[in-house]
Amino acid sequence: MDEYDLIVIGTGGAAMAAGIEARSRGKSALLVEHGHLGGTCLNVGCIPSKNLLAAAGQRHRAVANLFRGVKTTSGGVAMDVLLSDKQELIDHLRLAKYADVADAHGFPIIYGHAEFVDERTLRVDGRELRAPAYVVATGAAPHIPDLPGMADVDYLTSTTAMEQPDLPASMVVIGGGYVGLEQAQLWAHLGVQVTLVGRFAPHAEPEVAEVLRGVFDDEGITVVEEHAREVAGAAGGVVVTTRSGVQARGQRLLVATGRFSDTHDLGLDLAGVQTDARGFIVVDHNQRSTNPRVFAAGDVSGVPQYVYVAAQTGHVAAAGALGQPSTVDYRGLPGVTFTTPQIASAGLTEERALELGYACDCRVLGAQDIPRALVDQDTRGVLKLVIDAKTRKVLGVHAALDGAGDVMLAATYAIKFGLTVDDLADTWAPYLTMSEALRIAAGLFRSTMPTSCCA
């Protein structure tokens, strides 16, 4: 029976962070993987989706060129080339950011299915392994809703959609969260007629969601803001019927209704590890499960599903497992949906701030007052600032803008380190950048009178 200081199940962002943390403390670590090295983000999530979104955006900019003096054209889409380039990128990063990193830090990776056989022993394809502590970092998988007819249709998930060799003529996307929004626009920008069914950007500020809703309308993406009731096969594809009886038809169906934890067949019950109704491992603020030997990190532990959160929880889980508990500081946590324009946020929404008892104050800056948007000839956008009216500290920043995600880095710093709206208004901002919107919006708390470009 092999002995390690720490055994980590998984090789994604959380698992790699746990391995690095263990080795930085001079401890031995082993990672176990039952699929492809690199986890969700590398193989089926962030990297491939943003790569295809960038390609689709390139085509769309040619089709919908905003500058009359520059003529652009767009031809067909070679899906085989896009898929080949996407896989080449994944292969490169799998080596450079995972295999080479593991070698550099000195923790081995073995392949096989891991399952607990008791509270302190793991079996990997018949080989028993033992460690004083474990980190489970197996990620999450697409959730398929239990709708009538779902089992009878050939549906896509975001994973399988990004592997389809041929573009369908039309597609129905169920789900209006960040995955559904990105996938809907991705395929629409590649020339597919898309209908989206579900709550539209349910976690975004209303002003932000309204901008993207208008953009989808401009781009011919039909949005049906109702819950799906049933699905069925139809001539040439599928039909989705909503609760009110509205029907959406398409050649293909893509299901993007969230992700549930990937904990099947791990033997967690034998290890005394409790999970919730969706399979997520129940953890405390130190990422410790109900078995004090077993910690969990990343998506499997029910934290916000961002790879940077996964990495941070991986560090915290490994530190706790090795006897030095710590916690994750979620202040100013940013999130980005990579639509065009991007929708992004950091900190509290206005609604959440009120729920927490803040006497909050808000200002909304329209993109028609952002010089960068004016020179780009696209003023479909907003930036919203939420502050504590008593202290004037920044509580939240929310935007629908080109490059909104980049604006959120400064927003995160402002929230985490307690900056006031006056600090933002009085701090340098480079002219003709989208990040300047943060300073301009801060100025609205002093005066709503118009100003010149840099005044």
Distance of CA 40 to the CA centre of its chain: 11
- Same domain for 273 and 125, yes or no, is yes
Let me know: does 77 contact 167? Beta carbons within 8 Å. yes
**Position 195 in a domain:** yes
- Same domain for 120 and 266, yes or no, is yes
- Same domain for 388 and 288, yes or no, is no
Mean pLDDT of the chain: 96
- Same domain for 274 and 393, yes or no, is no
Residues 35-65 have pLDDT tens digits of: 999 999 999 999 999 999 999 999 999 999 9
- Higher-confidence residue of 262 and 345: namely 345
Domain range enclosing 216: 150-257
Token pair for residue 444? 């609205």
pLDDT at residue 449 in the model: 83
**Position 357 in a domain:** yes
**Position 46 in a domain:** yes
- Same domain for 63 and 161, yes or no, is no
Percentage of the chain lying above the pLDDT 70 cut: 100
Domain count within the chain: 3
Residues 191-235 have pLDDT tens digits of: 999 999 999 999 999 999 999 999 999 999 999 999 999 999 999
**Position 448 in a domain:** no
Distance of CA 104 to the CA centre of its chain: 28
Helix (H, G, I), strand (E, B) or coil at 254: strand
- Same domain for 379 and 423, yes or no, is yes
Let me know: does 368 contact 378? Beta carbons within 8 Å. no
**Position 451 in a domain:** no
Distance of CA 94 to the CA centre of its chain: 19
Last residue of a domain, one of 287, 321, 355: 321
Q: Where residue 240 sits, what CATH number does that domain have?
A: 3.50.50.60
- Same domain for 37 and 61, yes or no, is yes
**Position 449 in a domain:** no
Closest listed residue to residue 380, CA positions, set 262, 213, 240, 259: 213
Say yes or no to pLDDT of 448 above 90. no
Amino acid identity at 390: K
The 10 Å Cβ neighbour count of residue 453 is: 10
pTM > 0.85: yes
**Position 107 in a domain:** yes
Residues whose CB falls within 8 Å of the CB of residue 425, separated by 6 or more in sequence, listed in order: 439, 442, 443, 445, 446
Residues 246-292 have pLDDT tens digits of: 999 999 999 999 999 878 899 999 999 999 998 999 999 999 999 99
pLDDT at residue 154 in the model: 96
